[in-house]
Amino acid sequence: MEQTVKTSSSDRCENIFLSGGGEMGKLIRAFDWENSALGAPETWPRSLCASLSIVLNSRFPMFIWWGEDLIQFYNDAYRPSLGNKGKHPTALGQRGEDCWTEIWPTIKPLIDKAMRQGEATWHENQYIPIYRNGRLEDVYWTFSYSPIMDESAIPAGVLVTCTETTETIFARKKIEQSESNLRSMIINAPVAMCILTGPSFIVELANKRMYELWGRTENELINKPIFEGLPEAGKQGLQQVMRNVYTTGETFSANELPVTLPRNGKPAITYLNFIYAAFRNGEGSITGVTAVATDVTEHVVARMKLEQTNEEFKFVTDFMPQMIWVTKPDGYHEFYNKRWYDYTGLSYEQTKDTGWNNVVHPDEQERSRQIWQQSLNTSEPYEIEYRLRRHDGVYRWFLGRALPLKDPAGVVLKWFGTCTDIDDQKRTTDLMEEMVKERTKDLREANARLIRLNANLQEITHVSHHDLQEPLRKIMIFSEIVMKENADNLNDGSVNHLNKVITAARRMSTALRDVLDFAALNKKHPFVDVDLNQVLSLVLTDLELLISEKAAKIISERLPVIQGVPAQMHQLFYNLLNNGLKFSRRECTPVINITCEKVTIRQQLESTERIAHKKFYEIKVKDNGIGFDPEAADKIFGMFQRLHSKEEFYGTGIGLALCKKVVANHGGSITAESKPGEGATFKIHLHC
């Protein structure tokens, strides 16, 4: 509603109402009101003066909006709510809308209700954020907006009485959050947990694991006294234990306590580890009991079975001929069988006190300790040969072994070890080793003699080659001279005979040269980088005349660079290409294809059962010649092996044997595949 505030001189107040009022009284008195919408205090209506006097002298937080502009006043008790670096002291004498822009849409309707309708309002713990302390803060208030009537009984202002409840709300929320966290922790706990409240221990909260432990559903127990829903537990003394915790606040704990609980509809003994602790409210008063329990039945039963098994283990091991021992994870021995005590003559106490120092030979003690410690550190099996002292002072050799027993997570639970008497075998082995040493010495000397003999043989081969080549050369030269000088006097038979002599001499010369080349392959040569493309280029140059005569085609892919002996690689490719050209078919143009690719070949390692996968270059030399019977695939690599007569194809039968020797020298292999009339394929494997 619209109103106009009129004041007469008799309605106006004097400044005496501004006396006192603490800090805000001083600020109001010092304020330049003459330049404000209200004017000088002497002109203010008595209703404002009276209200302001009450506000300034009250210790309860109060605030006034006055007039159409809602000019603001507040007391010292209200002042802290404005904070620092915020609205104070600007708020004093300021228009309400200018002061509270951030919450004006919220509070303006409440102000209007008091100013326009004359109705008071009450709000408890209302969330109204305000700007203070340099920022917009979350603030909660309990407040009342009441109209202030002027002399005409018309609302002229609004009196605000308020209390900031921010700390109370935050404290309540903190408690609620704490309770929520506690409930969440209990519900999601990896162990069984519950809260039982009151002297009758009503089930207020329990997680799934606890219901499973109780053997009851939530509907059967929630909000009910625990010992009414689970009477069998109360009969076993747990009710009295819980009552003592509730009355004294003392925590009670127990381990592996046998408790009869329902399991699959029947009572069964369950072993529990549990803790009963007093549950307190925010004021510290005991309101119930918190229970934490773990079902260790499987663990207890397993231990009982293990103890039974240990008795059986001891019974069995006492009859075994080996010494058997068991240690803890740290290596501390906790069990020896009867054989140990019979052999050492020691009692359990003597063994425990002195350990193995009185048993292991002094020369082996440090080595034994180091190997055992290494096994303990790595959890790897333990194995050693050492001498152990018998009760009569005699030392005998034993093979000591131990394996760790681990749980599913890989943690060592125990070590199980044996000591096996190997003294007789050891002495036999030592004797055999001496015999092997003598035999090795004899073999080394025999090998040295063989090396010298091989060197002599190579020298003889070299000398023989030169000594035989010279007579053959003379046979060929003089035979040709005889033919030329007596060409007119020789008949056809004589010429034919001389030609056969020359041909035979040439074959023998070639054979001697091939034998010398083959013998030279036994010499060791250092490996270097060999570009097989360059090797092939030189071979094609050497065979240029034969290739031209046969109009042959040599097609090759890019070949790799390998580690090898250049001269031997030249011999390999020369003989393979020469072989392909020699055994070509007359009815078609000779074509030789050379391809290469990387392959992986499974190989069994020497002296082991392990299989290794190695990379090789697979080089194929394929021709379209006359081919050969597949059954001769291995035979053709033998020395002086020929599949055709000398009259059909000229040759010594050494070329492919030389190829096989070259490939073997390089750690590779060579094979041949063919069928009559379909050409031949030579497959070479060389290390990458």
CB-CB contact of 253 with 294 (8 Å): no
Per-residue pLDDT band for 608 (boundaries 50, 70, 90) equals: very low
Give the lowest-confidence range in 209-218, 479-488, 672-681: 479-488
Looking at residue 474, the DSSP 8-state letter turns out to be: H
316-342 average pLDDT score: 86
**More confident: 634 or 32:** 32
> DSSP letter at 662?
H
Q: Which residues contact 118 (CB under 8 A, 6 or more apart)?
A: 147, 149, 155
Helices 566-582, 532-542: axis angle to 10 degrees equals 50
**Helix axes of 655-665 and 566-582: crossing angle, nearest 10 degrees:** 150
What pLDDT, on the 0 to 100 scale, is given for residue 622?
94
Query: Does the pLDDT value for residue 603 go beyond 50?
Result: yes
Pairing of strands 591-604, 553-556: parallel
Q: Give the amino acid at 611.
A: I
Q: What pTM value is reported for the model?
A: 0.34
With 0-12 / 13-18 / 19 or more C-beta atoms within 10 angstroms meaning exposed / middle / buried, residue 623 is: buried
**Per-residue model confidence (pLDDT) at position 477:** 76
Cβ 194 vs Cβ 290: under 8 Å: yes
**With 80 as the cut, is the pLDDT of residue 135 above it?**
no
DSSP string of 590-635? -EEEEEEEEEEEEEEPTTSS-EEEEEEEEEEEEE-S----GGGTTG
C-beta of residue 276 within 8 angstroms of C-beta of residue 247: no
Q: Give the pLDDT confidence score for residue 332 in this predicted structure.
A: 84
Partnered with residue 598 across adjacent β-strands are 617
pLDDT exceeds 70 at position 84: yes
Q: What confidence tens digit (pLDDT) does each residue in 42-78 have?
A: 889 988 988 898 899 888 999 999 999 999 999 998 8
Query: Which residues have CB under 8 Å from 188's CB, separation 6+?
Result: 207
Which pLDDT value is given to residue 354?
Answer: 62
What is the structure's pLDDT at 504? Answer: 63
Yes or no: say if 499 and 530 are a contact pair by the CB < 8 Å rule. Answer: no
Look up residue 79 and give its two tokens. Answer: 């002042």
Q: What is the pLDDT of residue 95?
A: 93
Is-contact 311 329, C-beta < 8 A?
no
How far out from the chain centre does Cα 107 lie? 61
Mean pLDDT for the chain overall = 81
Q: Residue 7: which pLDDT band, with cuts at 50, 70 and 90? A: very low
Range with the poorest average pLDDT among 253-262, 270-279, 351-360, 471-480: 471-480
CA atoms within 13 Å, Cβ hemisphere of 98 = 10
Are 58 and 77 in contact by the 8 Å Cβ rule? The answer is yes
Predicted confidence at residue 9, as pLDDT, reads 41
CA distances from residue 479 to 490, 493, 494, 647 in whole angstroms, order as listed: 13, 14, 11, 21
Look at residue 451 in the predicted model and tell me its pLDDT. Answer: 63
Other beta carbons within 10 Å of 468:
14
Q: Please check whether residue 246 is in contact with residue 199, taking contact to mean a CB–CB distance below 8 angstroms.
A: yes
Question: Is residue 407 scored above 80 in pLDDT?
Answer: yes
Amino acid in position 324: I
Kind and range of the H or E run holding 71: strand 71-74
Looking up tokens 């002086």, which residue turns up?
640
Per residue in 469-481, pLDDT (tens digit) is 566 666 767 777 7
Q: 193 with 291: CB under 8 angstroms?
A: yes
In the chain, pLDDT over 90 holds for what percent of residues? Answer: 23
Which amino acid, one-letter code, is at 338? K
What are φ and ψ of residue 321, in 5° steps? -75, -20
Phi–psi pair at 281, nearest 5 degrees? -85, -175
Give dist(CA 289, CA 300) in Å, integer.
Answer: 27
The secondary structure of 496-548 as a DSSP string is HHHHHHHHHHHHHHHHHHHHHHHHHTTS----EEEEHHHHHHHHHHHTHHHHH
Q: How confident is the model at residue 682 (pLDDT cuts 50, 70, 90)?
A: very high
Number of H helices, E strands in the chain: 20, 24
What pLDDT is recorded for position 645? 42
List b or e across 590-615, with b for residues whose CB sees 16 or more CB atoms inside 10 angstroms.
Answer: bbbbbebeeeeeeeeeeeeeeeeeee
- Considering only residues 555 and 81, tell me which one the structure prediction assigns the higher pLDDT: 555
pLDDT in tens, 549-593: 899 999 999 999 999 988 888 889 988 998 889 888 888 999 999
Cα angle 509, 515, 517; round to 5: 105
Per cent of the chain over pLDDT 70 is: 84
> What is the tens place of the pLDDT at every residue in 242-269?
899 999 999 998 888 888 888 777 888 8
Q: What is the rounded average pLDDT of the residues 632-639?
A: 74
Per-residue tokens: 271: 């072993």
Residue 401 CA to residue 418 CA, distance in Å, equals 5
The tens digit of pLDDT for each residue in 479-530 reads: 777 777 776 777 777 777 777 776 666 656 555 565 555 555 566 778 899 9
Give the whole-angstrom CA distance, residue 365 versus residue 371: 10
